Amino acid sequence: MLSLQFSLPPFENRRSRSKSKLASPNLHDRSCSCRNVMHFLPSISLPKSRIFATAADVVVEEKKRNESVIGPGAPVKKEIFPAGLRRESMPKHVAVVMDGNVRWARKRGLPPGSGHEAGVRSLRELIELCCKWEIRVLTVFAFSSDNWFRPKVEVDFLMSLFEKGIKEELENFVRENIRISVIGDSSKLPKSLQKLITDTEEITKNNSGLQLIVAASYSGQYDIVQACQSIAHKVKDGVIQPEDINKSLIEQELETNCTEFPYPDLLIRTSGELRVSNFLLWQLAYTELFFARSLWPDFGEADFVEALHSYQQRQRHYGGRDP
C-alpha cells in the first residue's frame, strides 16, 4: 500500500498539512513524539534511481511551503488538543485502511510511487497526532494477503524496502517510545524479514507510548481461520473441551492479542470507498466507521479531527438501548 522516497511536486489540497507539520508540540506529558518515524512501509516497484535520487527535493519543497506560510524563523503556536474534541472521549484504538495513493498520483500525472510516498507522509503525520492526542493503538493496513498476487519482481522489491526501512528506523522507535507489532501471515515473508520483525518486536515490547500495529500479509478471514485451527488443536490435545470455546477464547487466539485494546473504537477508510476489504473482520464487530472522501495522501489533521468529531457525537450501545 505504501512506499518510500519518491519525488513530489508542490502539494495540492493538503488542507491542514502545513499547519500540523509546523507545530512542534510539547510532548513531555506523553512518552512519544513520533517525529520522523514512518519511512518503512513498502509500496510498488520502481527503479532505485527513482526512489532515492530526489528525496531531498521533497524536504526542500516542504520547507519552502512552510516558510511561505509563517516566514522563516517565525515562532510557532503550539496546540496540544483541538478545540471541540473531548479528551475523555478519545478512542483508544484507531484502525485505518489507507486507500487512494495511486489515484492521487494519476490525478497529477505522476508515477504510482509518488502517491505512495505522499501516503507515507500522511501516515507519519497521523502517528504524531495519535501520540499527541493520547490514542493508545494505531493499526494500519500496509500489505494485504491479496497483494501477493502482484508481479514477483514488485513483491520482492516491496519486501526489500520493508526490511531496509525497519533497520533504518529501529533507533527512532526506541527513542520515541513506540511499540511495534506486526500481524499477518509472516510465513510468507522473506526469512530475513521475519527475523527482523521478531527482533524489532522484542526490542520495543516494553515501550509504553503509542503501539503501532502494522498489518502485513494480513487477511481478516485468515486471522479467524488460524484462531479456529489453534483452538481445534487444543481440543484435540485435550487442553480444552469444545464447550470451553467462547468469545473470549477466540479473542485470545486472534493476532490482535498483541495489544491491550484489540477492538478498534474507530475505523477510518479514505478515498470514498465504502467497504472494509477483509480487514480485522472479527475485531470490527462494534467499531464505529468513518469513510472519508479524501484520498489517503490528502488526509491530514483536519480530516482526522473531522473523523474524531464524528466518533464523539455517536452513542455506542453495543446492542443495547438508550437508558
Please write the tens of the pLDDT for every residue from 273-323.
999 999 999 999 999 999 999 999 999 999 999 999 999 999 987 877 665
**Structure confidence at residue 61 (pLDDT):** 53
- Of residues 3, 298, 270, 265, the one with CA closest to residue 143: 3
Q: Does residue 12 belong to any structural domain of this protein?
A: no
Q: How many domains does the chain have?
A: 1
* CA distances (Å), origin 315, targets 38, 245, 311, 320, 321: 33, 31, 9, 11, 10
Point out the residues that are catalytic. 99
Whether the per-residue pLDDT at 79 is higher than 80: the answer is: no
**Structure confidence at residue 273 (pLDDT):** 95
- pLDDT band of residue 153 (cuts 50, 70, 90) is low
* CA distances (Å), origin 188, targets 148, 156, 159, 298: 9, 12, 11, 32
Whether the per-residue pLDDT at 72 is higher than 60: the answer is: no
**Structure confidence at residue 59 (pLDDT):** 38
Q: Does residue 44 belong to any structural domain of this protein?
A: yes
Q: Does residue 239 belong to any structural domain of this protein?
A: yes
**Structure confidence at residue 124 (pLDDT):** 84
Whether the per-residue pLDDT at 237 is higher than 70: the answer is: yes
**Structure confidence at residue 320 (pLDDT):** 74
Whether 59 and 51 have beta carbons less than 8 Å apart is answered as: no
**Structure confidence at residue 118 (pLDDT):** 84
Q: How many residues does the chain have?
A: 323
116 vs 226, residue with greater confidence: 226
* CA distances (Å), origin 34, targets 45, 93, 179, 209: 27, 17, 11, 9
**For range 16-39, the mean pLDDT:** 44
Q: Does residue 215 belong to any structural domain of this protein?
A: yes
Query: pLDDT tens across 35-52, in order?
Result: 444 444 444 334 433 433
Whether 20 and 129 have beta carbons less than 8 Å apart is answered as: yes
Q: Does residue 60 belong to any structural domain of this protein?
A: yes
Whether the per-residue pLDDT at 56 is higher than 80: the answer is: no
170 vs 181, residue with greater confidence: 181
**Structure confidence at residue 18 (pLDDT):** 42
CATH number at residue 148: 3.40.1180.10
Structural domain including 100 reads 17-312
Q: Which of 61-65, 197-201, 318-322 has the lowest mean pLDDT?
A: 61-65
Whether the per-residue pLDDT at 246 is higher than 50: the answer is: yes
Query: Apex CA 230: angle with CA 281 and CA 196, to 5°?
Result: 80
Q: DSSP state, 181?
A: E
**Structure confidence at residue 162 (pLDDT):** 78
Percent of all residues in the chain with a pLDDT value above 90, rounded to a whole number = 54
Segment of 18-27, 62-71, 135-144 carrying the highest mean pLDDT: 135-144
Task: Please report the beta strands in the chain, taking only residues with DSSP state E, as ranges in sequence order.
Answer: 93-97, 137-144, 179-183, 211-218, 266-269, 288-291
126 vs 320, residue with greater confidence: 126
**Structure confidence at residue 43 (pLDDT):** 41
Q: Does residue 159 belong to any structural domain of this protein?
A: yes
**Structure confidence at residue 81 (pLDDT):** 83
**For range 136-152, the mean pLDDT:** 88
Indicate the average pLDDT of the chain: 79
What CA dihedral angle connects 242, 185, 126 and 315, to 10 degrees? -20
- pLDDT band of residue 205 (cuts 50, 70, 90) is very high
Q: Does residue 322 belong to any structural domain of this protein?
A: no
SS3 214: strand
**Structure confidence at residue 322 (pLDDT):** 64
Q: Does residue 1 belong to any structural domain of this protein?
A: no
Q: Which of 47-51, 189-193, 248-252, 253-257 has the lowest mean pLDDT?
A: 47-51
Q: Using CA atoms, how far apart are residues 71 and 61, in angstroms rounded to an integer?
A: 14
